[in-house]
Amino acid sequence: MALEPESSFCVGMADWSIKLVFDTPVPPLPSIYLADRNSELNTRSSELRVSLLGDVPKISWIHDNEQQDLSELLDCLGGRRFNAVGNASYADSCVFSDVVFGDAPALELRNGDLHVLNPEHRHVYIDTVMTWLMLRESSLVSVHAAVCAVGEIGLVLLGPSRAGKSTLACALAAQGADYYGDESAYFDKRDGRLYVHVRSPALRPGGRKLLATPPAGDWYEAKPGDPKFAASVPVSERPCPSDQSILFFLDGFGEAALTPIPGGEATVRLARVLGHGNPTVSVQLDTAADLVSRFPCHRLTVGPPDATAKMLIAFVSAVTVAADRQTCGAPCSYDGSPRRTETDPSSNR
Amino acid sequence: MPLRTAFIASCYYLERILWAMLDVLEGISSTGLLPRRRELPGRPAGRELLVREPEDGRVHFLNATATLIWNCCDGETTVTVCAERLRAAFSIPVEVDVDTDIRETLSDFALKGLIETDEANNGVGA
Using a CB–CB cutoff of 8 Å, tell me whether B7 touches chain A: no
Band (pLDDT 50/70/90 cuts) for residue A199 is: confident
Give mean pLDDT, residues A215-229.
78
Cα torsion at A295, A298, A302, A308 (round to 10°)? Answer: -70
Band (pLDDT 50/70/90 cuts) for residue A232 is: confident
Q: Is pLDDT above 80 for A1?
A: no
Greater model confidence, B30 or B43: B43
Confirm if A206 and A114 have CB atoms less than 8 A apart: no
Q: Cβ–Cβ contacts within 10 Å for residue B10, how many? A: 10
Band (pLDDT 50/70/90 cuts) for residue B28 is: low
Band (pLDDT 50/70/90 cuts) for residue A188 is: very high
Greater model confidence, A337 or A271: A271
Of A4-13, A49-58, A244-253, A259-268, where does mean pLDDT reach its minimum? A4-13
Phi (first) and psi of residue B60, to 5 degrees: -115, 140
Could you tell me how many residues make up chain A?
349
The string of pLDDT tens digits covering residues B93-111 is 888 889 988 998 998 899 8
The string of pLDDT tens digits covering residues A31-62 is 556 555 444 454 557 888 888 888 888 999 99
Rounded to two decimals, what is the model's pTM?
A: 0.80
CA distance B47 to chain A (A): 6
Cα–Cα distance measured from residue A170 to residue A208, given in angstroms and rounded to the nearest whole number: 9
Greater model confidence, A224 or A46: A46
Three-state SS for A122-161 is HHHHHHHHHHHHHHHHCCEEEEEEEEEEECCEEEEEECCC
Mean pLDDT value across chain B:
81
Rg of chain A over all Cα atoms, to the nearest angstrom: 21
CA distance B101 to chain A (A): 7
User: What is the pLDDT, as a whole number, of residue A61?
Assistant: 92
CB contact under 8 A, B59 and A336: no
User: What is the pLDDT, as a whole number, of residue A332?
Assistant: 42
CB contact under 8 A, A263 and B65: no
List CB contacts (< 8 A) between B56 and chain A.
348
Which of B37, B38, B61, B100 should be substituted to probe chain A, the one whose Cβ sees the most A Cβ atoms within 10 Å? B61
Q: Is pLDDT above 80 for A104?
A: no
Mean pLDDT value across chain A:
81
